[in-house]
Amino acid sequence: MRIAIFPGSFDPFTLGHMDILRSALKMFDKVIVAVGYNSAKSGFFPPELRVRIIQDAVQGMENVEVCSYRGLTVNFCKEKGAGWIIRGLRTTTDFEMESVIAQANRKMAPEILSIFIPAGHEYSFISSTVVRDVLNNGGNARCFLPQNVDIEHYLKLREQ
Ligand code: ADP
């Protein structure tokens, strides 16, 4: 079975991430969307809520698993029996940063391959940073987020 990991901060998961996930599902039997986090960086949404947001986003989709992990992505891949790491590319800056990470991962685990998927042009301007800015300023971020996600609900949970 061809299993890929789609790792990221996903703070929160956007339509851009969804587009990459849909493309990845065409290539793999199973894609694990994995929220990576470290205790030093708490983020906008706590990791548990980020996972729940993704679970809402992928509701009804087959061959997707959602989870969170700590530590090195390559170690998590081995734990899950995944041979591929999926990353999305929007800009040349993304490419430069992703190349460095991919080289390091390849050095540590040559059997795991990084796959870069270009952003769909209609999503290439979407980032979690923009979504957080909009939410922080009381704006409506619906147009950047998957349809099933009730972000107001998660904003309330976040404040509790
Ligand atoms: P990280 O902090 O690990 O970069 P992100 O949640 O910001 O986590 O992004 C996860 C992955 O999704 C990265 O590979 C990023 O380049 C990609 N990505 C983010 N936004 C988009 C988008 N709009 N279109 C395509 N890929 C995207």
Q: Residue 70's Cα: distance from chain center in Å?
A: 14
Domain 3-159 class, CATH top level: alpha beta
Q: Is 41 a catalytic residue?
A: yes
Question: For each of the chain's 160 residues, which pLDDT tens digit applies?
Answer: 999 999 999 999 999 999 999 999 999 999 999 999 876 677 999 999 999 999 999 999 999 999 999 999 999 999 999 999 999 999 999 999 999 999 999 999 999 999 999 999 999 999 999 999 999 999 999 999 999 999 999 999 998 8
Token pair of 8 as six digits: 């990221």
Span 132-144, pLDDT tens digits = 999 999 999 999 9
Please report the pLDDT score of residue 40 as a whole number: 66
Span 19-37, pLDDT tens digits = 999 999 999 999 999 999 8
Spacing, Cα 1 to ligand 1 middle (Å): 25
The residue whose CA has the least distance to atom 21 of ligand 1 is 16
The residue whose CA has the least distance to atom 12 of ligand 1 is 88
User: What's phi and psi for 61, nearest 5 deg?
Assistant: -85, 140
Please report the pLDDT score of residue 128 as a whole number: 97
Token pair of 123 as six digits: 């999503």
Please report the pLDDT score of residue 159 as a whole number: 84
Spacing, Cα 122 to ligand 1 middle (Å): 15
Tell me which long-range contacts 118-121 makes (C-beta under 8 A, separation of at least 24).
118/88, 118/89, 119/16, 119/19, 119/20, 119/88, 119/89, 119/90, 120/16, 120/19
Domain segments of the chain as ranges: 3-159
**Helix or strand (DSSP H, E) at 85:** strand 84-89
Q: Is 128 a catalytic residue?
A: yes
Q: Is 3 helix (H, G, I), strand (E, B) or coil?
A: strand
Spacing, Cα 160 to ligand 1 middle (Å): 27
